[in-house]
Amino acid sequence: MRSLLQLLGLPNLPAPELAVLVGLVAVGALLLGWIADIILHEAGFGVILNGVIIIVGAMLGVMLWQRLGLLVGSNQYFTAAIIAATSGIVLLISCGVGKRLVA
């Protein structure tokens, strides 16, 4: 778990702070999944799966962004948050469009 956090560019956190971070991410994923479910209607995958897709997209986007070595602005954490949100939403929309094309 700690190596995944370091891969995403997050600092090495003690266990209580790591538990709070995981809880915040889970609540945020459920909230974003619920909002996406409202917006996508039948193209969505349900609240929990929408949240999982957003989290996976966010992780992939941040890892790709760091792998490319790009930096926009002076605050790397703000940039990572913007990239994570954007890539998570893009992956969810892509999955929704794919679901409509297949069905």
What is the full per-residue pLDDT of the chain (103 aa) written as tens digits?
667 766 666 667 777 887 887 888 889 888 888 888 888 777 778 888 888 898 899 888 888 887 887 776 677 778 878 888 889 889 988 888 888 888 7
CA separation for the pair 48, 66 (Å, rounded) = 27
What pLDDT score does 10 carry? 67
Per-residue confidence (pLDDT) for residue 72, from 0 to 100: 66
The whole-number pLDDT of residue 62 equals 83
pTM of the model: 0.75
Q: State both tokens at 31.
A: 């909230």
Cα–Cα distance for residue pair 35/68, rounded to 1 Å: 31
Alpha carbon distance 97, 95 (integer Å)? 5
